[in-house]
Structure 1
């Protein structure tokens, strides 16, 4: 039996964190390809360091994309984040492109052919999760951690707080009683800032954003509110630490409140089940919780490279009267979980991925342009009819 009274912690990082800079560049290039060819194949990695970016990976597209176009897309992503510093500047950074054509062996295993369905792009297992702890149906610690760093970035972009620089991290620890979150016991925020500010100055600048992000009355004790605990944080981003695509997969998902299959999302087109099947699993889990069938829902799917349909679908429910085996069968009826079926159902073959690169791939608002389509709750009525 799980404990009813415990502490749980999750962290988030801002769009200016070096790993998130890498994720954004990779996803911006995915969007560049998909905007020209919805069937393009992209597997792109980015490395960021002091005034240098390296692009590598493999692609295939009916409409070519040049190295120069990828480099300019990378510059645009860095500029949008707001890096104009001596050690990392969107205009001055050296960008090297080592992207090549996709290997034929991968293509032949994935592509559809005569009498053959399109297969998964790789083997692997993916998880989706939803919890009724927040309106977004996300675990509360990661939801509040995202809110803090996103609010700092919005204040920086708007000019309301020019003292903030792009790189930031947050960490929220919540107390659970009776299995429900009730208050914060500690909050940690580290944010890059303009030179000349004291630690106390930064603490007071950050405080209102933390208080606004948490539910009323949830603010942690003053002695457990840590802001830039090591002191000054002027040099940050890729100038302070190397960044790589795909190193923040727990920040991208559920903050450790649910398992992760191991595969990163950013830099991958939606034929890669690491990305698309994780989105599909979240979509199904969210609809299960939104339908009131469980307080929490965890879904695992598993694939083999070149094989169209999942090898397994597993459902685990918390506080539910629903038979998991029946729910597994129902979900497979409601959604075709082959790679092509997922892309069609969620309309994933669009340039919609750059916004996912920071503040989590889940718990976001589905947009009219197709962004975050996996956050829709359009299966609720069918699920209620099936289990009413």
Structure 2
């Protein structure tokens, strides 16, 4: 059993905004330290940014506002940017070391999870607005906003579609928050860390990606733990794990693009 939500779901809009801000931090500083939390809904976007990057520059502030409007439309923006804690930032001065405590799990994707991911993407190409989907065995549930049930039935005639009828969706009728759809993003790999709104030094990003990729490669579950300051995890130097995650994010198209669908 698996649920996927698409990139226009309010929670994913929050993830995408957080990812876009992380992308901007990387544009203005090499390997910045950054953590972003976003809450959005009903015409307001609240974003809190903790960062080492110089993001209070007028041109960067304009870029942040432009990114929020591009992703979420016209919303009132409540933006707070503060320096990251100096103790945490100093942890990385001599090179990449684990930026957080945590436990992490990687699980091989099931055929069911891969199937629903493909279905969600297929529907989103035709209906790029708020939607969520569940697959449990042969039972497919499609909740797609701004789409008539009869139109979706032409694509998936055996699915249960919009059980409560047509709906509007989006942040005008619901709220979104960063990292609230980890099950959709990580499937059975969900443990303690959120994927979105953080730089590569954070274990929530890099170790989660590393564990996921190792599980796909080996076909076996992967369980890891780490503490702030660790310079080695799973027998690998932490900087190597960071570079594996960096390539994954780059191949996805950046942190904002990664936030659209998560790991799969």
TM-score normalised by structure 2 residue count: 0.89
SS in structure 1 at match of 2:197: coil
Matched, 1:285 2:215: yes
Matched, 1:31 2:9: no
1:149 aligns with 120
Where in structure 2 are the equivalents of 1:1-388 lying within 5 Å?
A: 9-61=1-53, 66-78=60-72, 90=73, 92-108=74-90, 110-113=91-94, 118-130=96-108, 138-156=109-127, 166-174=129-137, 184=138, 186-193=139-146, 202-210=148-156, 222=158, 225-234=159-168, 236-254=169-187, 258-289=188-219, 297-310=220-233, 313=234, 332=235, 336-338=236-238, 340-348=239-247, 352-362=254-264
Query: Structure 1, residues 210-268: CA drift from partner, whole Å, max 9, x if none?
Result: 47xxxxxxxxxx4xx3211112312x1111111100001111012xxx34222111101
The alpha-carbon distance between structure 1 residues 270 and 208, as it changes in their structure 2 partners (threshold 3 A), is farther
Q: Distance in 2 between matches of 1:63 and 1:43?
A: 12
SS in structure 2 at match of 1:45: strand
User: Is contact 1:122–1:304 with CA below 8 Å preserved after alignment?
Assistant: yes
Query: Structure 1, residues 58-95: CA drift from partner, whole Å, max 9, x if none?
Result: 011267653332111211223xxxxxxxxxxx1x3111
Further displaced range: 345-354 or 266-275? 345-354
The alpha-carbon distance between structure 1 residues 53 and 64, as it changes in their structure 2 partners (threshold 3 A), is closer
Q: Distance in 2 between matches of 1:269 and 1:107?
A: 12
Root-mean-square deviation (CA, aligned residues, Å) is: 2.1
Q: Distance in 1 between matches of 2:197 and 2:221?
A: 25
User: Is contact 1:151–1:209 with CA below 8 Å preserved after alignment?
Assistant: no
Q: Distance in 2 between matches of 1:209 and 1:40?
A: 44
User: Is contact 2:189–2:212 with CA below 8 Å preserved after alignment?
Assistant: no
Q: Distance in 2 between matches of 1:38 and 1:93?
A: 30
User: Is contact 2:55–2:61 with CA below 8 Å preserved after alignment?
Assistant: no
Structure with the larger RCO, 1 or 2 (CA within 8 Å, 6+ apart):
2
Query: Structure 1, residues 110-147: CA drift from partner, whole Å, max 9, x if none?
Result: 2133xxx53211100111122xxxxxxx2123222222
User: Is contact 2:47–2:79 with CA below 8 Å preserved after alignment?
Assistant: yes
Q: Distance in 1 between matches of 2:212 and 2:237?
A: 12
User: Is contact 2:6–2:131 with CA below 8 Å preserved after alignment?
Assistant: yes
Structure with greater helix percent: 2
SS in structure 1 at match of 2:46: strand
4+ long deviations beyond 4 Å:
62-65, 348-351
Query: Structure 1, residues 328-381: CA drift from partner, whole Å, max 9, x if none?
Result: xxxx3xxx241x22123444585722112123313xxxxxxxxxxxxxxxxxxx
SS in structure 1 at match of 2:232: coil
Aligned residues: 259
User: Is contact 1:277–1:337 with CA below 8 Å preserved after alignment?
Assistant: no
| Greater C-alpha radius of gyration | 1
Q: Distance in 2 between matches of 1:270 and 1:210?
A: 39
